[in-house]
A and B are shown apart, each in its own frame.
Chain A
Amino acid sequence: MNTINIDIKKMNKKLKKIKINADAKNSISANRKTQKRKHIERLVEFIFLFCALVAIISVGTIAVFVFIKGMPALVEIGFLNFLTGKMWKPSAEVFGILPMILSSLYVTIGAIVIGVPIGILSAVFMAELAPKWMKKIIRPIIDLLAGIPSVVHGLFGLLVIVPFIKEHTNSLGGDSLLAAMIVLGIMILPTVISISESSINQVPKTYKEASLGMGASKIQTIFKVIIPAAKSGIITAIVLGIGRAIGETMAVILVAGNAPQIPTKITDMGRTLTANIAMEMNYAFGLHQEALFATGVVLFCFIMLINIVLNIITRKDY
């Protein structure tokens, strides 16, 4: 009996020793493992940081490059002369982009007037009123609309919208600001719809339930409770739509007529800032080329302004 006890004690001691040894080994290799893991994690984080830096560096490089190339022209032509000059005649070294600025503004405003109401109401429909089977059909179609290249939108405008405008208005050829507004309105629809829809979906269900519980109809709830609650998301959608409309080039070139004149009515032809750059950059040299870069500077400033407005609006808590 005693020998068995002693054996057991010895065995326990041995086991303890083995366990201590094993623990020690485990802790050393565990230490090494965690160290290695830390290093790898840090390296991978650095790579992610690097990728993000690439994006930042790109934006910075574009901004710096465009400004450097465009500033000499602004100085030589004269800041005010350039921005408010009414004639663009490069062969005579006359560079005034007021017609282009106005055309860009009109076309963008028109696109917003056409695209935003349709977009927001579509978003409301998709988020609140559509049955599930309809949502399944409509959502991929809207995504498809988002994926259509801008030049194809332009072709559609050229083949369908321009002749339509020619027949039904007093427009000379159908190519007009109105055609550009319609085409751009269609192009910004997917952006406005998807962002508005997701922001409407994010409105807490309690708002809707409280409103309905107090006796409001579904439509009243939508317009008086849900949309105001989703305001910041909807405004984001609008601002993104503005950004897309002002930057669109190819579709506008195909349908707007590109006459460098100040448009006085919707059926007049116009040339946007982007169309001006795209059409003339191929063959411009000297001051003409620098003037086109200066046009790029103006565009850049517009976009920065839009983004600042967006940041101010979305920072406020609604």
Chain B
Amino acid sequence: MKKIVVFLLLISMVLIGFVGCGEKKEESVSKEVNNKVVEEKESASKSSEEKTNGTNISTKKELSGTISIVGSTSVAPLAEKLAEEFKSLNPKVKVEIQAVGSTAGVKAAKDKTGQIGMASRNLKTEEEEWNLTKHIIAYDGIAVVVNPSNDISELSKEQVKKIFKGEITNWNEVGGKDEAILVVSRESGSGTRGAFEDIVSLKEKVEINGEMKKVSQVREDALIADGNGVVMANIASKDNAVGYVSLSYVDGTVKSLKIDGEDATVENIQKDKYKISRPFLMLTNGEMDDVTKEYIDFVFSDKGQEIVSLKNISVK
């Protein structure tokens, strides 16, 4: 009797192993299809209503499904606030947001691993070839931040460039304490880093292996933090650190510097007085499913842009 029980358990263990594997494969492939099927069923039953009501966002349709949004750590907080408001209007919708970096977001949109990709920079030439639909949902500033205990409160763009290149290595060279500067930068896939380096002219053509290539000139021993949050944590805890973060992340734990005499504020960016800014892009690939389309429409609606203008610059 005992042997039979053990035997049955072994067989079921083996079979479950197989069954589990098989389902998972199909699941990942058909997850999107399932979403679409759910959407289609919903839209099929509601399509008659839609046709009569038009695309009026204020009419309450029972929208349901999951939106997966992947990409920039700078855009993520904004996407989350928008998602919260969107969910209160459409309670059956689930929005999953992953903040892994702009380049990862663009890649996710291309591979269709997420319905929306977020980027906090313009697309590069190779990425333009992927024919993604660009939705510019906001403009954002990049603040240069230091530890609150740092005496410095302003720098010129030239000084910022020299600090990040490693030509200025001590705070006393720009009027501060006698302490070596710790430069905090981002991983190479970061949109914030890409935008920052473009604006502060930190990329130069260098000859490598006989070819001229555009290469980042940020000093080799800069501390690499992966994500706006990690940069903030590093700046807040090290008094000789300097770094750059999305303006929406700046809070009391760090001090944002004036660049060329201008504070990093939303008004200054709108008046084009503060020069370090970049667009927030939401990227979709091909036809959007209903939930995604609703979300994007919401982002561009008045309510959505109102949320944008809280910490960023709206596009309207």
Residues of A within 8 A of B (CB): 40, 43-44, 47, 50-51, 54, 87, 89-94, 163, 166, 172-175, 253, 257-261, 268-269, 271, 279-280, 282-286
Contact = CB atoms under 8 A, between A and B. Distances in A.
A284 B208 contact: no
Contact of B188 (A44, A51, A91, A257): A91
B234 A173 contact: yes
Contacts of B182: 172-173
B224 A47 contact: no
B238 A90 contact: no
A280 B101 CA distance: 10
A280 B223 contact: no
A268 B206 CA distance: 25
Contact of A47 (B11, B213, B215): B11
B11 A282 contact: no
A259 B189 contact: no
15 contacts: A44-B7, A47-B10, A92-B214, A94-B213, A163-B237, A173-B182, A173-B240, A257-B221, A259-B220, A261-B221, A269-B223, A282-B189, A283-B100, A283-B103, A283-B189
Nearest to B209: A94
Given A89-B215, A173-B241, A43 B221 contact: no
A274 to B, nearest CB: 14
A260 B216 CA distance: 13
B180 A172 contact: yes
Given A89-B215, A285-B107, A259 B223 contact: yes
Interface in B120-134: 126
A271 B6 CA distance: 49
B224 A259 contact: yes
A40 B11 CA distance: 12
B14 A47 contact: yes
Interface string B103-138: 110110000000000000000001000000000000
Given A175-B223, A261-B221, A280 B216 contact: no
Given A283-B100, A283-B189, 9 more contacts: A44-B10, A47-B11, A47-B14, A92-B213, A172-B221, A268-B221, A269-B221, A269-B223, A283-B102
Contact of B220 (A44, A51, A260): A260
A261 B14 CA distance: 48
Interface in B181-227: 182, 184, 187-189, 206, 208-209, 213-216, 220-226
B3 interface: yes
Contacts of B188: 89-91, 280
Contacts of A166: 238
Contacts of B187: 258, 279-280
Interface in B153-187: 180, 182, 184, 187
B221 A283 contact: no
B189 A92 contact: no
Among B3, B180, B215, B224, chain A packs the most CB atoms within 10 A around the CB of B224
B213 A93 contact: yes
A98 to B, nearest CB: 13
For the complex of A and B, the 3 pairs showing the least CB-CB separation, nearest first, are: A283-B189, A283-B103, A283-B104
